[in-house]
Structure formats: C-alpha cells, structure tokens
Structure 1
Amino acid sequence: MGMLGSLRTATVGLIVVLPGVFLAGCTSTDAADPTDAAAPESAVPAYCQQMEPDLAGLADSMNVPGAAVMVLSSELGDCLLTFGSRTVAEQEPIGFDDQFRIGSNTKPMTGTIVLQLVQEGKLSLDDPVSKYRDDVPNGDDITIEMLLNMRSGLADYSGLPEIARSMDETPDRVWTPDELLALSFAQPVAFAPGEGYLYSNANTVLLGLIIEQLTGEPVEQAIDERIFEPLGLERTLMPARTSNVIPEQHARGYLFGTVTDFVATGGVLPAEQAAEAAAGTLQPEDVTDINPSWGWVAGAGISTSNDLARFVKALVDGDLLDDRMQEERLASVISIDPANPDSAAYGLGIAKYGSLYGHSGELPGYNSFMGHDPERDLTVIAWANMMTGPDGQPTAAVLSQAVIDELY
C-alpha cells in the first residue's frame, strides 16, 4: 500500500531493501528502549542470528543507504537489526528512534478516527459521501465504508504527471486537499461504487476533510489527540501541510533519478544505471525535503520504528476502538484480488498480509512496513531510506517478506 505504487506489490507479505555499505547490529533489547549497539551473541535469539546475514545480503543487493528491521515476539524473543547509514555522505548508524516518512502507514490513523466518529454517532459507514461533499463523482452511491476499504472507484491522483513534475521542479509546493481531489475527479472513475478495488489516495483525502468537518478542528490536531497522545507516540507526528522538514533526528531519504522517471519506469533502472548504482558510481538524489502535502492524511505522517511498533499493536489488538467496532474492522478485510485468495487483503483502513494485520507505506525517499499478528503476539516493522531497489521492488517489502518467510 504505497503512495506512488498504489499497492502495486500486493503479495502475502511485505519486504524491505537496503544498500551499499552496511553496518549490521543485532539486539534483543525491548523495543521501547532499544540500543544501537549489538548485544552479546548469546542474548540474540537463534532465528535472529539466522536471518541477519540473509537480510544483510538483500539489503546490500538493493543499494539502499540504510534500513531497520524489528521483530517483537513474546514467543521467540525480540530481534532488532539495523543496516547502513542515515545518510549517503556520512556513516551514521540507523537507530530505532530515528524519524522517517511513513507514507501510507498514515492511512490506518486516519481510518481509525473515522471509526471512532462512527462509534460516537457522528456519522455512519453507510452515509453517502454526498452528505458531506456535493462534487464527488458518484457521490450519492459512494459510502464512507467504500472510502475506507478502497472500493469507491475514484481515480488515484498520485501517479499523475502533475504530481511527479511538482516534486521534481517545485519540491516545496504546498498542495491543498481540494487541489488533490480536483486531479482525481477530473479522471474517469474506475468502476461503479462497490464493484471493484482500486487503491486511491483520493478516498483518504475525502475522509480527512470529513474528519475536519465533524470535529471542527484540523485533522493534524485530531490525530494527535486521538492517536498519538493516548498511545504515547512522542516521536510521531502529522506535519502541517506547509512543512517539508522532518524536525528531529532522522534518516535522509533517497531516490535514483527523478520522481518523473520513477513514475514512468516503476522505479526500474536501465541496466547500465543499475550497474553504476551497484558499483557506487551512480549516487541517489536526496529527496527528503519534498513537501508531502500531496499525500496529506493518506501519507504525510512521520514516525519511528519504536512508535510504529506500538501503534500497529494497538491498531490490531483493539486499543483504539470498542470491541464491536474492532471486530467489524478486522472482519472487513478481504482479498483485493478475488481470483487470488493469497493476495494482500484490505478493509476499513487496514490491510492484511498472511497472518499480519497492518499496512505499508512508500513515498520518494522511504519505504516501510508494519504488521502485527494478534494470535502470536508478534510484530514486524521494517523501513529503508530508499523507496525501491534498482529492479523497482519496494525495499521494505522485500525485507519484510524475507522476515515473514522465516517466521511462518
């Protein structure tokens, strides 16, 4: 469930990729207070020791500057691995409290607030979107539920040339929600409401505007009050739309070529450039400070490994909703491809990959995955400070899949 990729890697899991020179650390300390220094080998769970060289090899093959992988398991013990550096220029080891852009991992936060408002009787999942906005194509037939589960048929604006061009030419541009929706509404709808699945950021942008309408406050404030503060996510934030900076200690984000190139090729580098990237003679561009307002409540969030682990566990275990609503949320998750029951599944602002509920995120410079298995009380977090490898595969998706394959 990426921003530009629009859930283009919807397999039974997600994975992450890492780059060039790697400094791998492996610890089994608690994720709430991890250290970057390697623990004594005897303290590291056997499965973690077994995975580390394979993950390091994957990371190295993907030319990613840096990455982190976290597995929290009461059954197996915790595995904390970091690879590479926060920056290309300096060897600054990755940390589990480093901030990074989480992309579409923001969507479950937005979706959770919508479900809280349903609990409070302020709206219904069956409400037509036209009740809140009168210019939405098929708005009388698109429900709040369809916006949450990506079955509205509304076009996605993320891969349009206007978005890519603005990131390349005016990276500090501030997009308004209305501008984003105008791009979507100008495109043909993909199908009649409820008749298919299309991962579209327009759905979540509409939900953000509805949240503001019903709460009477900026959605950034609503997310802080309803999600971040109750869970103690002190290093997680929804930045103001005008902000293009990550405010605290963070990893820089990188991309080979331009965003326009990425959209055109799916991130696949020509063979000559891929060879140069592997040799280190082709360096990626620093795209950290592209303003993420084009993603807004669909993908502009900032967080850390530790905070995402805390959030996804609360998301899946039901700490943010009442029992009835949580049960309905998890039951809503169905395959995005009816012909392939092993494909990823999506529901009310939440995805499922195999046994793990959660989400994934990508935007220029970063790729990430968060998942929690409530049956095994097992959490997987992975992220990298490059969106895709030279072959176009999402970096965090690749790493996460390798972890999931080992654990399941």
Structure 2
Amino acid sequence: MISRVIAALSAAAVLVTAACAAPPAPPPPSGASLPAYAETLQPELERLARDMLVTGLVAQVRSPDLGDWTTAIGTRTFRGTEPVRAEDHIRIGSVTKTWTGTVVLQLVDEGALRLEDPVATYRPDVPNGQNITIEQLLTMRSGLGNYTTSIELSRTMDTAPATVFSPDELIAIGLAMPPQFPPGAGFYYSNTNTALLGRIVEQVTGNPLETEIQGRILNPLGMTGSSFPARTSALLPDPHPQGYTYGTNVETAESNVLSPEKQEAARDGTLAPLDVTNTNPSWAWAAGAGISTTDDLARYVEALVGGGLLSPALQEARLNSIQPIDPAAPDGPGYGLALARFGPFYGHTGELPGFNTFAGYDPERRTTVVVWTSLAPSPDGRDPAAEMARTIIGELYGTGS
C-alpha cells in the first residue's frame, strides 16, 4: 500500500553508494544500436522480473552522455501472450503526491497560499491545526496519523473494491488517529497530509483537484497519456496491463512480506495473483490516484526537478527543502516539499496494490530513469520498480547493483 512508499525510498537510497516468468523483450529493429549499458541491464532486468514474479515492466533511461534506452519485458496479463508496451497506461501511486504538491506550490507562487500558513486557517477540524503549517504537510512533518494504515479501510478495499471514498471521509480516519509527534518534531509519511492539501487546493481555487492538476501540470507539459481521474472512475485507459498482487490489503497491512507458505505457492504456480486493476483508486485520491505512461513520467520528472513548473526561487527552495528522513543517516533517503531524493536522483516512487513506479532525474548528469511494474509488491515484500531502478542506476554509474 502507498503508506509503505518510504520502504521503497530506503531501498532506492542506495542506488549509487517461474509460474509467471516474464519473456524477454523483442530485439531492437534491424540496424538500431543499443547503448553499451543496455546489453548488461537487459538480462539482469529479465532475471529480476522472474525472481520477483513480475508480470510486466517497462524501464526507460534518458541520458545525453550514455544514450537513451527503453525496454519492455513481460505481458499485459498473467500467463498471457500480449506484451506490455512503453505506451501502456499505469497507476502511478505516490508519484501523484508530487502533482498535488506542485499545485500547492504554484498557489504559493501566486500568493494564494503561504508555506507558513496554519492548517487551521483552512481546516479548523485538524487537531492542533493552529500549530501545523502547509509546509509541514508537504514535508511529512505534521505528525498526523496515516489513514491508509486503517485495518477497516483495508478490509473495505478487499471486500468492496468498487467503493468510492470521499476525501473528507479519508481525512477523518487519519485525524482520529493519535499524532505521531508534535508538529515539526520528526518525519512520518502520512497520506492524510496530502489528502488535506488536495482539499485545501479545492477550497482556495474553487475547482476540483483533477481540474487544477490537468490545467496546471498535465496540459502545459503535453502529458496527453496522463490523468487524475474523477473519484467515481476506476477505469484505466487503454492500452494498459492488468495490475496484480499476491496478498490482500489486510494481509499486507503490517508488512508486504507474505507467509513462507504463500511465497512458495506463488513460486511453484499453485497460487495465482489477484487482479486489482479496477479497484477504485479514490482511497488514494490526492496521494496516489494518478495515471500516466512511461514517456509522460520521464517528461514530468525532468520538469519537476529541472524547473519550469515553479518560479526559479521556489524551485530552488523546493530542492533545498529536502532533509534526511533519518537524521542518523544523512546519506540515506531524503524528503522535502512533496519531493524525494535518493542519491543524486530527485523524484518519487509510487506503490499501490498492482503497480509500482520509480521516476527520478539527476540534474547534474541530466539523466532520467523511469521504471514501472504491473505487480506490486512481490510476494517476498520487495518493491519491484525500486529494485530495478537500483540496478539500472548502479550500472549507469558504475557502482554495481
């Protein structure tokens, strides 16, 4: 579930320091040449896909020095024959947080919001909201509980996947939980923060969040394959892979690692994965309901990190806002104004049942890495896209996997 995205960030932070075995990608067109790194990475990604039981994946690298490369491995359906493609639509999970956060920062640029504004100015229902700022919501330092850790929510998602949740219903679940710490006293990744930001955007602009994301981000960047769906929609536009997971939401509430018995059954083919493609993503809303494609994600993360969506001053402040998640590990993953950092890469990971995404950009080397998988998490609890991104960047930067 997207509440566990920091586990993926932690794995990605070291990027630089057989039942559903995925078939290999087709060879490049006659006469086309592959970058040197691709010859090493292709079989390694195929091995990882088999090891993590990934049904389908796409990985893309953009680098002016090393060369561009896109590979698609696997099929759109479990044990199917139709291959995944780079143009497929996928659910991007918590990468959506950067969309919501960017809209908030654009409103700051326009003077409609201030980072130091108390949340109580907009949401009097937030406990201790007079001492929680917009900035602390963006940086995950409010201390507010995380609604996606609710067992009741997980049970509803398992038993009634078509349920349409309202943002205020989700927020109420989070606000009823005990705070983790006083505002600003630590880091705690909570989707309640982003749901509040989404509702504040709607309050300030008078428009639905999907309208603001479309008009402020997707349209200006030409992201024609991307969307932030209305809460009532569970559709994933064609073409798309099916999204799979081996454990229910209740089973993976505390840990994504399934029991040894289930892991063995998945590997020997006696346990088929659950198809969760059409689970209504309203439960994720501002924190994780976005839809995109490989090329769109690459274009987006380059603008997210390289600039063009915010004023130069606020863009610089956003990059400089990142602090270590664990103060005792200054070289570990960092988080700031709805933006993560892992090694030299800035961007975000995204995980929700059925899909895992990594989108990162290194502004120094102007290198972009995007990976998505149509299975998440793996039965042993790994985040497949983060694992593959780790391997890709290790090869690109000569640090190994």
Q: Same fold (TM over 0.5)?
A: yes
Partner residue, 1:169: 159
1:47-97 deviation line (CA, Å, top 9, x unaligned): 111111111111110011111111111110012111111111421111111
1:263-314 deviation line (CA, Å, top 9, x unaligned): 14x2212223222212222110101111111110110001111110010001
1:226 is aligned, of 210, 216, 230, to: 216
In the alignment, structure 2 segments of 5+ residues that lack a partner are none
Counterpart-to-counterpart distance in 2, 1:302 and 1:15: 27
1:253 is aligned, of 233, 243, 257, to: 243
Cα deviation, residue 15, structure 1: 10
1:94-134 deviation line (CA, Å, top 9, x unaligned): 11110011000001111111111011010100000000010
The number of residues matched between the two structures is 395
1:400 aligns with 2:389: yes
* Alpha-carbon spacing, 1:163–1:57, altered in 2? closer, same or farther (3 Å): same
Cα deviation, residue 323, structure 1: 0.5
SS in 1 for 2:350: strand
Partner residue, 2:289: 300
Counterpart-to-counterpart distance in 1, 2:13 and 2:72: 17
Amino acid at match of 2:314: M
Cα deviation, residue 22, structure 1: 1.9
Partner residue, 2:174: 184
1:288 aligns with 2:246: no
SS in 2 for 1:319: coil
Cα deviation, residue 165, structure 1: 0.5
Give the alignment's Cα RMSD to 1 decimal. 1.7
Identity %: 47
TM-score by length of 1: 0.93
Amino acid at match of 2:25: G
1:217 is aligned, of 191, 196, 207, to: 207
Partner residue, 1:9: 8
Which consecutive aligned stretches of 4+ in structure 1 deviate over 6 angstroms post-superposition?
Answer: none
In the alignment, structure 1 segments of 5+ residues that lack a partner are 27-36
CA contact (8 A) 2:19 2:269 kept: no
Within 5 A, what are the aligned runs for 1:6-405? 6-11=5-10, 13=12, 20-25=20-25, 38-40=28-30, 43-264=33-254, 266-405=255-394
Counterpart-to-counterpart distance in 2, 1:19 and 1:388: 16
Cα deviation, residue 156, structure 1: 0.5
CA contact (8 A) 2:5 2:349 kept: no
CA contact (8 A) 2:241 2:374 kept: yes
1:329-355 deviation line (CA, Å, top 9, x unaligned): 000011110011122100001100100
Amino acid at match of 2:168: D
* Alpha-carbon spacing, 1:387–1:15, altered in 2? closer, same or farther (3 Å): farther
